[in-house]
Amino acid sequence: MSNTYYREEPVAPSFDRAPACPFDPAPEVTALRAEQPIVPLAAPEGAPGVWLVSGYDQVRQLLADPRFSSRYETQYHPVVGGHLPPAPVGDLTGMDAPQHTRFRKMLAGKFTVRRMNLLTERVTEITRERLDAMERQGPPADLVEVFAQPVPAMMICELLGVPYEDREQFQDQTRAVSDTGSPEAQYAAFIELGEYLRDLALAKRAKPTDDLLSDLATGSDLTDEELGGVAAFLLGAGLDTTANMLALGTFALLRNPAQLAALRDDPGLAAGAVEELLRYLSIAATGMRGVLEDVELGGRQLKAGDTVIIALNAANRDPAKFPDSDMLELRRPATGHLAFGHGVHQCLGQQLARIEMRVAFPALLTRFPALRLAVPAEEVPLRTDPSQIYGVRGLPVTWDRG
């Protein structure tokens, strides 16, 4: 299918963020949003149509419409220059109904209130342990290494029931996956972790313990391969995301001292502050869907076979939905943000992510009331690869010794 049916010249915006404000979406994308919340992108001759959707209403609408497919193989990737391969086994974000419905129901039934309550108790302890470690180590310290990465990694251990004796090695491997080391070392760690999780899942079948993976192993009809795949997917979905929210969120607070002080002085603000940080930062910045049949969206006619690129971060900054959208305002009602997605694929772990952030941010600011950057803000290393969850690769911080 060619893209010649467009009514105007396709655009090729830069997705680069402005160095002046690393928390903002790419200025060219937000500029388009005002006039053209859905716009055709330039694609090579003969390639399917590719659209950029950046308006809040249009993004929300398409995420709730089953005519937009999550299956990776329906999506044309303009940078790759071809269709994506199918998602790995167990990756819910690459499935459509009825396959997705089967996995989703199975998994949703295991994120129980009881399980979440148990995890709430653990996150308080784990956060305290990590803050103690940070205090012993510094100042200064790399917040990513001592706090933002280990807290969610330990929580994934709790969720999946990684035995205590394996946790140190598990932590090392998860660090190696998201590390700045060579791509080969990252890949090797990723494969090892996948193998470990598959073996763990099978061990839970034989000898269940009190954790979500055991519940899945014994209370679902997942095959061994699916069970291992789901475990690896949960690690991927729950670790990098929450770790980057904690680190980038702290960076954003340090750059907005009045907001930081408001949260530090009123921990009751935490729940609302977390929603606003999710909206403002939108670390899962973009997503894609394949168009299954001809469909109208935002006054545009999309064709079966087209692909949409969803700028979740730009949608969450749409002033039509959030007044003064580019301001971090912890007291604003940020409800309705799309940082966890929307529709049938909306994040299954959002409750857990919220529990972690509502505990971790206030605890960090209470323990280190004079926390500040240890380097100029421009020197904080950002994760600029658009295929990654957005965030920082390290966050050097310092404080006054008490």
Contact between 348 and ligand HEM per CB under 6 A = yes
Site for ligand HEM in 10-69 (CB under 6 A): none
Q: Closer to ligand HEM at the Cβ: 235 or 374?
A: 235
Contact between 345 and ligand HEM per CB under 6 A = yes
Q: Closer to ligand HEM at the Cβ: 234 or 309?
A: 234
Q: Which stretch binds ligand HEM (CB under 6 A): 20-28, 79-87, 237-245, 261-269?
A: 237-245
Q: Which stretch binds ligand HEM (CB under 6 A): 21-29, 216-224, 279-287, 376-384?
A: 279-287
Q: Which stretch binds ligand HEM (CB under 6 A): 36-44, 53-61, 262-270, 337-345?
A: 337-345
Contact between 154 and ligand HEM per CB under 6 A = no
Contact between 241 and ligand HEM per CB under 6 A = yes
Contact between 339 and ligand HEM per CB under 6 A = yes
Contact between 216 and ligand HEM per CB under 6 A = no
The minimum distance between CB 166 and ligand HEM, in angstroms, equals 18
Contact between 92 and ligand HEM per CB under 6 A = yes
* Secondary structure string (H, E, C) spanning the chain: CCCCCCCCCCECCCCCCCCCCCCCCCHHHHHHHHHCCEEEECCCCCCCCEEEECCHHHHHHHHCCCCEECCHHHCEECCCCEECCCCCCCCHHHCCCCHHHHHHHHHHCCCCHHHHHHHHHHHHHHHHHHHHHHHHHCCCEEHHHHHHCHHHHHHHHHHHCCCHHHHHHHHHHHHHHHCCCCHHHHHHHHHHHHHHHHHHHHHHHHCCCCCHHHHHHHCCCCCHHHHHHHHHHHHHHHHHHHHHHHHHHHHHHHCCHHHHHHHHHCHHHHHHHHHHHHHHHCCCCEEEEEECCCEEECCEEECCCCEEEEEHHHHCCCCCCCCCCCCCCCCCCCCCCCCCCCHHHCCCCHHHHHHHHHHHHHHHHHHCCCCEECCCHHHCCECCCCCCCCCECCCEEECCCC
Q: Which of 76, 340, 361, 399 binds ligand HEM (CB under 6 A)?
A: 340
Contact between 287 and ligand HEM per CB under 6 A = yes
Contact between 352 and ligand HEM per CB under 6 A = yes
